[in-house]
Amino acid sequence: MNDHELDSKIKDYFLGQKLADEKVQRILEQGKVQKTRSWWQHWVPVAAAAAILMVLSFQLTRNYEQDEFGSEVAGKIAIRHNTYTNVDVEAADYSTVQAGLKDLAFSVTPLVKNKLLSAYQVIGARYCQLEGQQAAHMQVRHRTTGAICTLYVASLKGPLASLQETDDTFELEANTVRMWQDTGRLYALVD
């Protein structure tokens, strides 16, 4: 017997097999029972999809509002950079700024972005407000270009708390503002 004959006999054998009529009937009845579903079972996936869409749209709206608020804060900082040139405390480093601005409730010394900030020399600082929160407005000089820039530090409280995840660059008409958070403080560098 060759392979072709063997395949043919196996095929004929299995085609000749069938379930008893009562077993076929029982399987068909079970299928009918399972097909009847309550009306609400059809709507559960629709309701779940609607809930997911609502959550996603809420999150997207929240992110958009946060970006818009961040841009607004960056604009205010840039205006102050372009407007105020006087300092209350002349300083050459962060510790001198901290000692001169005794009423600050937070440290002005950065813990992150040290590589970026090492390119700048502190010149002086003054007290200011940002969105109702106490802030330090520091003037810094770029070590290579000599350009006078502004470094803002504010506590991430009140409305500024919504910027806790911020690490953005805002390209404004006259300035570039880099904003980031550092251990409960908002930093903004204006070039």
* CA-based nearest residue to 140, from 74, 71, 90: 90
Tens digit of each residue's pLDDT (9 = 90 or more) over 61-115: 554 455 687 888 888 888 888 787 788 899 999 999 999 999 999 999 998 887 8
Q: How far apart are CA 91 and CA 52, in angstroms?
A: 53
Q: How far apart are CA 182 and CA 62, in angstroms?
A: 22
| Residues 102-114 as b or e (16 or more Cβ within 10 Å = b) | eebebbbebeeee
pLDDT of residue 94: 92
pTM: 0.63
Where are the chain's structural domains? 45-190
Mean pLDDT (whole number) for 10-30: 78
pLDDT above 90: percentage of residues in the chain:
32
* CA-based nearest residue to 106, from 165, 182, 31, 189: 182
pLDDT of residue 59: 65
CA angle 167/116/125 to nearest 5° reads: 90
Question: Please, which pLDDT band fits residue 29 given cuts at 50, 70 and 90?
Answer: confident
Q: What is residue 109's DSSP assignment?
A: -
Number of CB atoms found within 10 A of residue 64's CB:
10
3-class DSSP assignment, residue 160: helix
Count of residues for the chain?
191
Question: Please, which pLDDT band fits residue 8 given cuts at 50, 70 and 90?
Answer: confident
* CA-based nearest residue to 179, from 36, 73, 82: 73
